[in-house]
Structure 1
């Protein structure tokens, strides 16, 4: 049985700025898409392709804390350099993913990579926040670097395109990301006229973002930069590209626990939020210059 579509949302009218390096359109949470409705996903920011221009000033977001969830940054165009208070650092290039588990608390900063910043050029990224179950919110902070080459690869028949499996399982091919709840995350690249079909549990909350191009999904048209939310009814999803297209398909088993959030902290109660703030203020998350 096919999944039916609950809603197709167009790109918000205006972007917002995160620091001075990320010009994002926010889809989760949205006007009709609450964090509870799309659990375990807490946030989706989409930096649609934008050229910031060459600069000797390196744009980005300076030191800030996180606790209680994971941040997942997917690079489509441009390069991002990152550092955290556990000593991890690195650069993600187009096709790579930065999967950071904030867990019990971490300090983090991310910027346009230095050489990319000097040259300028197209910049396109997605950042997801993925909630952690209560039992895992105190796990030590850590980081999974996932390069494009490490991902599961599914070459589609009839020159339809390619699926990069970041997390979960796509048509029996597994992705490398280790997750704390059941999550699927697929980077799908379709040639014009290309088609792909996959099955995702009806128990999962499921959505897709049309990063580039335009598609038909389960018989309905979805334009570039639109967000498709599926009902929790069927399992089959069929995507056909009406032009060359890039699609991010995400699904996850809901975490049926209370959500208390304040800025970069996501816990289960307001008391835990206050504790997280005090921990940050007392320096418990380490030092990052």
Structure 2
């Protein structure tokens, strides 16, 4: 049985510094998909070579109560946070950060990418933590492209990357605090892949670039597709003559209260007020930037 499409949304443009992003989640139709409460698509952006600039801290900002997850289609990003974590990841990799009880982080194009230039293209998710984990210490993991396991699809249809969660007997190294998943499906030309869904989990598909036929209807060009609650199969068909990308994500419904304000996602207004108070009182610490370097960093757990 085909899984029904409940809603689709093409997003709303917004500026983040000099970069243009498409804000897709939450929206007027859907507030969350499983534990995923936020999705931004950084459109492909051609960055000209320049003399590398060290992070200024201008765009550093706090988070609490969530994990943030930046997935890079192309380019290279450098991460710093106030818990002392630092890492650089390349296209095909990802930055995972557990904000927990409060952290300040800063993400910028890496020094080497600034020097060489190229196309910067990424997604950022916010993943809501269960209430019991919101008070835990921050954590961080830099995922290089080779750290993300891949599965060959049947009939030479392409590759499925298990970015978060489990698919079959393959599991991502990313820590998950509830049942959740992100799959990057790289579909070959003129190919189809049918994904059998699991009862009780919520599903969405995001198509960053070219149009893809999703369960019988065409979607794409930075569009989010959210599915109904019934069990069934999600069919992804690439009718073009070039490979294309599809992101499938979701998980078990988040059943605790959700109160989101600014960069914080908590369970009630009192916790939101405390998050702001702790931030303004300096309890999230400060970022200590390293000297400018073009070498890749390896994150400490």
- Fold similarity call, TM over 0.5: yes
Deviation at 1:199, TM superposition (A): 2.1
Equivalent positions of 1:107-146 (< 5 A) are: 107-146=104-143
Deviation at 1:97, TM superposition (A): 1.0
The answer as to whether partners of 2:34 and 2:180 remain within 8 angstroms in 1 is: no
Instruction: Work out which of the residue numbers 11, 14, 17 in structure 2 matches 1:16.
Output: 14
Q: Which runs of 5+ in 1 are unaligned?
A: none
**Aligned match of 2:144:** 147
The answer as to whether partners of 1:61 and 1:110 remain within 8 angstroms in 2 is: no
Deviation at 1:94, TM superposition (A): 0.5
The answer as to whether partners of 2:260 and 2:266 remain within 8 angstroms in 1 is: yes
Instruction: Work out which of the residue numbers 24, 27, 37 in structure 2 matches 1:27.
Output: 24
**Aligned match of 1:89:** 86
Question: Alpha carbon RMSD of aligned pairs, Å?
Answer: 1.8
Structure 1 runs, 4 residues or longer, greater than 4 Å off: 57-61
After superposition, the C-alpha distances for 1:157-209 in whole angstroms (9 at most, x for unaligned) are 33211111011222332222110011011011011112222222232221111
Q: Judging changes above 3 Å, is the alpha-carbon distance between structure 1 residues 205 and 108 closer, same or farther for their aligned structure 2 residues?
A: same
Q: Judging changes above 3 Å, is the alpha-carbon distance between structure 1 residues 11 and 77 closer, same or farther for their aligned structure 2 residues?
A: same
Q: Is 1:166 aligned to 2:166, yes or no? A: no
CA distance in 1 between counterparts of 2:65 and 2:29 reads 24
The answer as to whether partners of 1:40 and 1:130 remain within 8 angstroms in 2 is: yes
The answer as to whether partners of 1:18 and 1:61 remain within 8 angstroms in 2 is: no
The answer as to whether partners of 1:19 and 1:61 remain within 8 angstroms in 2 is: no
CA distance in 1 between counterparts of 2:167 and 2:232 reads 13
Instruction: Work out which of the residue numbers 170, 173, 177 in structure 2 matches 1:180.
Output: 177
The TM-score normalised by the length of structure 1 is 0.92
The answer as to whether partners of 1:152 and 1:175 remain within 8 angstroms in 2 is: yes
CA distance in 2 between counterparts of 1:127 and 1:250 reads 12
Equivalent positions of 1:231-270 (< 5 A) are: 231-243=228-240, 244-270=243-269
Deviation at 1:264, TM superposition (A): 1.0
Other structure's SS at 1:212 match? coil
Q: Judging changes above 3 Å, is the alpha-carbon distance between structure 1 residues 160 and 61 closer, same or farther for their aligned structure 2 residues?
A: farther
CA distance in 1 between counterparts of 2:131 and 2:207 reads 32
Other structure's SS at 1:213 match? coil
Deviation at 1:123, TM superposition (A): 1.0
CA distance in 2 between counterparts of 1:157 and 1:252 reads 24
